[in-house]
Structure 1
Amino acid sequence: MTTTGERPALAQPGSAGPGKAVPGNSAPDAWHLLKTARELTEPELRKAVDRLAEPVRSVAAYHFGWSDECGRPVNGEGGKGVRAALVLAAAQAVGAPAVEAVAPAAAVELVHNFSVLHDDLMDGDLLRRGRSTAWSLFGSTQAILAGDALLAVAVDTLAHRFPQGGPEAVRELSGALLALVAGQGADLTFETRADVGLAECLEMAAGKTASLLAAACALGALAARAGTERVDALRQFGRHLGLAFQLVDDLLGIWGDTTVTGKPVGSDLRSRKKSLPVVAALSSGTPAGERLAALYHRTEPLDDAELRTAAQLIEEAGGRRWAQEEAERQRAAAVTSLATAGVTPDSTPALAALADLITRRHV
């Protein structure tokens, strides 16, 4: 805990943090970075949500894990805060104190949660972070309005509490939002198409997920008033990291543990989502891929046994291995992006630790 008026700096790997230390594994350090980033950004997030009118304010507070469905305060899990941590770590990587990047970090988290509120509704997901999704408790209309409100206060936070970013920061976030919407739209369209290719699936992931992580890193660099080359390098770092993040998320959506991820495992297969491992399997030209296509393109709902069969066929067709290898390739490309601007993992341990955490979650 910090005393009133004090703000913690974003801790560097090696600091004592929650969880058990594993020799050679940066995850405990990365979790400590996330915890510290949440401590820095949560006051800004609460200020933003407090500006909202009821009942939208209560829906947003529930979604962030600050209250239960009746509005009673709780200490819930409001998400890992990866995007906020990336903003702060990117700012530090080019020489600025983390506290100078708190406003854009909060803005990015607000945008992310806007997209999550809408995404849960569009996908029909009933669980998020181990709790009922906002739309399933409060209704679709209130969830949509809450998401819209978070987007509005995100832009306002960036415009009025991040003056050093100027119009460039607003353009950065706006560009990410346009890419995010395009990616989400493609993701939904793919569900009704039988001919989705791997290249366009990667492009969809670049918009839906990677665009906001790329903007997070670029905004951190802007907070440090970095030059164009470093802003571009950090943006590319975030983009590659975002693709790795989506690949791992897709793997967890098929083979993860609900008690660990807090998300409904198998829902992507049940709704015939063309996630990256699925498209890799469908494009493999293997007998398993052909059997998967026949199963996936049926009009009848898949039962639990057929979902297990689908997951097995994806693995037999090489979809799981491809996604794991591609996630590692994207992680390596992210590190290379830092090196091209003379920013190495040795000088940016926080970014390196977060990259490891994102790409090496258990799948």
Structure 2
Amino acid sequence: MAEFMTETEERSPAVPHPGTAGEAPGDTHAKQKTQDAQLGRSGQDRAENGDGGPADGAEGHEAAALLERTRAVVDPELRAALESLPGSLRRIALYHFGWQHVDGSPAEAGGGKAIRPALVLAAAAALGGPAARTAAVPAAVAVELVHNFTLLHDDVMDRDTSRRHRPTAWTVFGDTDAILAGDALLALALRLLAEDPHPAGGPAAARLASCVVELCAGEHTDTDLEHRAPDEVTLDEVLAMAEAKTGALLGCACALGALYAGAGPQEVAALDDFGRQAGLAFQLIDDVIGIWGDPRRTGKPAGADLAARKKSLPVVAALASGTQAAAELTELYATPYVTGDADGIARTALAVERAGGRDWAQTEAADRMARAMQELARAVPGPEAAEGLLALAEFVTRRSA
């Protein structure tokens, strides 16, 4: 489950969209308009950002430009790192990143959106200008390697069969080889920083290693929660798990950029907190979209987490509400999902909403973003210097895919 990644990418057509079962077309359209308003999106936003990208506007354009510039400087170094791997591991890694087909022939698409490396470079630029941004490229590459280490392992654990519109690595090369390729990416990331002659290289390697430990602990908590009854899981536990799995790497990315800018401990800590809070806001919105998003727009099956009886943030908040809807939700979660049960998914989504899970998640996401902005102001007082980080925060909290 994800950052170990937000939002698994299993494309199971058997999981119905909870907003469609038993509804007239007009009802579905009305509910979509309501959802868009709650998530701060317009119809134009969705049309112009079919993958659920950032809302149209200054922040959206700035984020797109930042991501493009990041890919331009990071991808060559990232690919060079992958090419240094032994043959079999190199083949799996290049396939996973989208730079090769299964047979080893070149592929046009490559990599993901590069949000995490963009945060590294934006943080470095905010505190140290263009020179710090250039110096931080190895850290940006290392963060992207760690991110993809988590994806390779995550796909195996969740048995996800599709990522970035192609079969996942484990379905092509097997569990063992996919896991080993992920391990190799982690080792590459740490080696890249350890060998960097920049004064921040060593501290950055140590901080990234600590982040990976936190990611693993968060994933362990998540798997533990899967085996516990719904009434045995607290909201504080799930929030802590989400911070470890999603917020930790975003926070680490910002902190590494600050280190390469020569920032002091207070600025590094503030940017780490900025990334963590933005990451939690992302996870909250992601969980909302995972239940109520329209798969025709997101490209992913809504309701998959409900079908798997996952204890996502809106679900746990709903279960803790003490309402009649919470009791109904507890009953529904105690019953295994039957493949193709569209009515069951719709009833479960409605119970979460009636118990207040959706409203709570959206309110909490706004609160987390407010906290993120406070931390950013502490680290980067000048609004112009903070523009890149602000744009990226807008991106990660307004996207849905």
| TM-score > 0.5 by shorter chain | yes
- How is 1:138-153 mapped onto 2 (pairs within 5 angstroms)? 138-153=173-188
Map Cα deviations across residues 242-265 of structure 1 (whole Å, 9 max, x no partner): 111222222232233446545454
Task: Report if aligned partners of 1:258, 1:265 keep a CA contact under 8 Å in 2.
Answer: yes
Quick check: 1:274 aligned with 2:307? Answer: no
User: 159-168 vs 107-116, which deviates more?
Assistant: 159-168
- Counterpart of 1:53 (choices 86, 98, 102) is 86
Q: Which of the numbers 66, 69, 73 marks the counterpart of 1:33?
A: 66
**Aligned match for 1:168, one of 199, 203, 210:** 203
Aligned to 1:317: 355
**8 Å contact from structure 2 (residues 286, 400) kept in 1:** no
- Which residue pairs with 1:117 in the alignment? 152
- Aligned match for 2:283, one of 246, 268, 278: 246
Contact 2:285 2:365 in 1 (8 A): yes
Letter of the 2:188 counterpart: V
Matched residue SS, 2:285: helix
Deviates more, 1:69-78 or 1:198-207: 69-78
Q: Residues 55 and 395 of structure 2 are in contact (CA less than 8 Å); yes or no, is this contact kept in structure 1? A: no
1:173/1:259 Cα in 2 relative to 1: closer, same or farther (>3 Å)? farther
**Change over 3 Å in CA distance of 1:321–1:162 after alignment to 2:** farther
Aligned residues of 1:117 and 1:147 also touching (Cα < 8 A): yes
Q: Whole-Å Cα distance in 2 between the matches of residues 221 and 139 of structure 1?
A: 39
TM-fit CA distance, 1:299 = 4.1
Q: For residue 114 of structure 2, what is the aligned residue in structure 1?
A: 81
CA 1:279–1:25 in structure 2 vs 1: closer, same or farther (change >3 Å)?
Answer: farther
Q: Are positions 1:227 and 2:254 aligned together?
A: no
Q: Shift of the alpha carbon at 1:331? A: 1.1
How far does residue 24 in structure 1 lie from its aligned partner after superposition? 4.2
Question: Which of 332, 343, 347 matches 2:385?
Answer: 347
Q: Distance between the aligned counterparts of 2:226 and 2:166, measured in 1?
A: 26
**Are 1:67 and 2:100 matched, yes or no?**
yes
Distance between the aligned counterparts of 2:301 and 2:110, measured in 1?
16
2:45 is matched with which residue?
Answer: none
After superposing the two structures, state which structure 1 stretch, 69-78 or 141-150, moved more: 69-78
Amino acid of the structure 1 residue aligned with 2:386: T
Q: Point out the more displaced range, 87-96 or 131-140.
A: 131-140
Q: CA–CA distance in 1 between the matches of 2:98 and 2:298?
A: 15
Structure 2 Cα separation of the partners of residues 250 and 77 of structure 1: 26
> Secondary structure of 1:73's partner?
coil
Using a 3 Å threshold, how does the CA distance of structure 1 residues 253 and 71 change in structure 2: closer, same or farther? farther
Q: 1:275, 1:180 → 2: CA distance?
A: 17
The TM-score, its normalising length taken from structure 1, stands at: 0.89
More contact order relative to length (CA 8 Å, sep ≥ 6): 2
Moved over 6 A (4+): 19-23
1:239 shift after superposition: 1.1
Letter in 2 for 1:287: Q
Check if 1:237 corresponds to 2:270: no
Cα distance change of structure 1 residues 55 and 341 upon mapping to structure 2, 3 Å threshold: closer
Change (3 A) 1:50 1:315: same
Alpha-carbon distance in 2 for matches of 1:248, 1:143 = 29
1:4-19 aligned at under 5 Å gives the runs none
Unaligned runs of 5+ in 1: 1-18
Residue 347 (structure 1) shift: 2.6
The amino acid that maps onto 2:142 is A
Once the two structures are overlaid, the 10-residue window that deviates more, 205-214 or 123-132, is 123-132
1:344 offset after TM fit, Å? 4.5
User: Is the alpha carbon distance of 1:173 and 1:90 closer, same or farther for their aligned partners in structure 2, counting shifts above 3 Å?
Assistant: same
- How many residue pairs match? The answer is 345
Q: Does 1:284 align with 2:317?
A: no
Percent same amino acid among aligned pairs?
Answer: 50
CA distance in 2, matches of 1:96, 1:224: 8
| TM superposition score normalised by structure 2 | 0.81
Structure 1 stretch displaced more, 31-40 or 349-358: 31-40
Structure 2 segments unaligned to the other structure (5+ residues): 1-47
